[in-house]
Chain A
Amino acid sequence: MADQLATEIIDKIKEHAEPGDEEITASTELTALGIHSLELTEIIFDLEEQYGIEIEMNTVDAWSNLKNVGDMIEAVRALIAQKN
């Protein structure tokens, strides 16, 4: 089920996660990642640059709507689709 976009995003998250933790999948809750919420926001900003998209949100709003890694992937996917 992990398509290329999902794999890329999960890889990016892994760079920031504690090594040796459980495997990260689309259903992993963002709060369970052991990653500072601001750092997760920064991952989204990196994705913006990488995919030439613009995510209009501030850091507070960013997390109220995203619960797990899958939500993050789908949010980015929708924005890429919008752009095309």
Chain B
Amino acid sequence: MRKRIVITGMGGLCGLGTNASAIWNEMRAGRSAIGPVSNPALHNTKIASGCEIKTLPDHGVERKQLVAMDRFSLLAVIAAREAARHAGLSVDETNSRRIGSIVGVGVCGWEVIEENYRAILLEGKSRAGIFSVPKAMPGAPAGHVSMSLGLRGPVFGVTSACSSSNHAIASAADQIRLGRADVMLAGGTDAPMVWGILKGWEALRVLSSDTCRPFSADRQGLVLGEGAGMVVLESYDHAVARGADILAEVAGAGFSGDASDIVAPTIEGPESAMRACLADAGLNPEEIDYLNAHGTGTKANDQIETAAIKRVFGDHAHKLSISSTKSMHAHCLGASGALELIACVMAIREGVVPPTANYREADPDCDLDVTPNTARERKVRAAVSNAFAFGGTNAVLALKAV
């Protein structure tokens, strides 16, 4: 029998709050943190709304490490430290080689790229900052988490645009199952509130001109946000042996590739990832009470996701509680799946389904129960978290109560 993998700690920060419980409180209350953005790195971008972390918490990262980090690495380290504390994890000489970290990243460390172009092309500086390469690389957050917590086991970054977190978490569970590690810190991070990135998204014309209204007939697109989420994963036996508080079980994961178009989604790709996930978890569709949707708030995604859910869940699709928490924390790209995992874990623990905020008008193409605006109390035995992405790289996680 394969090893059961459980979550014993969570950490996170995004526009909703700077720790996992603050984020959950806001989600449960259905409060959206989307609003006007004011970050100086945006320069003259005219972006209608976003979801920023206005003030970072006291993080205690020493200056020597800080100078070498782009913002996405710092966010990941803050979340990882919180998760490790929450799990009561102590890392020392005896276990550090058995603990690793996998951090999903959708973009990269772009602040330094931005600064360099501006310094060289606009201000006539002769050279790039010396930390440009190590700050920008997508593997940097995993490296910094490892340095920050002294983790000497498997350490690497994972990237698949908007499904990066889910791929990272599933991959971390695999490291434990394969015997390469006993404990893994896994999740995702991104800090895309930077001029160059926003100009790129603007050009795609998928950004909403007001806020993010997933599944609502008047939805206008997605809203970008920044954040990070990290969880502590370990085998059930390892958690029990050290007396850890088990938050939920990672029951399974399912992946698929659309093999179709770099941006346009398909119904079949998400459908097959959800099916693969349920099969991996050994769960019947009827055993799922909550589905945290990818729910970006674009016309295409929400309609296609609804169709895919119906194919997988059949009649149960209408009994299932669905919501898109992106309506509150926005689309944090590589961090989205990890932030949404906080929603799933807490929904299971508290028996509360967080709502889809900003919902106004029913859409006949999105006619499932999307928990509009107000949280709903119901027992959640198991939850599924969808993440789809440009590139057609789909990753779905299933969690269940322990």
Mark A residues whose CB is within 8 Å of B: 16, 18, 34-36, 38-39, 41-42, 45, 49, 59
Q: Residue on B with the closest CB to A44?
A: B130
In contact, B130 and A34 (Cβ under 8 angstroms) = no
| Interface residues contributed by chain B, number (CB under 8 Å) | 12
Q: Chain B contacts of A39 at CB under 8 A?
A: 67, 130-131
In contact, B64 and A34 (Cβ under 8 angstroms) = yes
Known: A18-B63, A34-B63. A45 touches B68 (CB 8 A): no
In contact, B127 and A36 (Cβ under 8 angstroms) = no
Is B129 positioned at the interface, with any CB of A under 8 Å from its CB? Answer: yes
Query: For residues 89 through 140 of chain B, which have their beta carbon under 8 Å from a beta carbon of chain A?
Result: 126-127, 129-131, 134
Q: Chain B contacts of A16 at CB under 8 A?
A: 67
Chain B nearest CB from A16 CB (Å) reads 8
Q: How far is the CA of A45 from the CA of B62 in the complex (A)?
A: 24
* A–B pairs, 22, beta carbons within 8 Å: A18-B63, A34-B62, A34-B63, A34-B64, A35-B64, A36-B64, A36-B65, A36-B67, A36-B68, A38-B68, A38-B130, A38-B131, A38-B134, A39-B67, A39-B130, A39-B131, A41-B130, A42-B129, A42-B130, A45-B130, A49-B126, A59-B130
Chain B nearest CB from A4 CB (Å) reads 24
Chain B nearest CB from A7 CB (Å) reads 23
Q: How far is the CA of A80 from the CA of B221 in the complex (A)?
A: 59
Extra 11 A-B pairs, beta carbons < 8 Å, given A34-B63, A39-B131, A45-B127:
A16-B67, A34-B62, A34-B64, A36-B68, A38-B68, A38-B131, A39-B67, A39-B130, A42-B129, A45-B130, A49-B126
Q: Chain A contacts of B62 at CB under 8 A?
A: 34
Q: Residue on A with the closest CB to B129?
A: A42
Q: How far is the CA of A18 from the CA of B62 in the complex (A)?
A: 9
Chain B nearest CB from A55 CB (Å) reads 13
Q: Chain A contacts of B127 at CB under 8 A?
A: 45
Which residue of B65, B127, B130 has the most chain A CB atoms within 10 A of its CB atom? B130
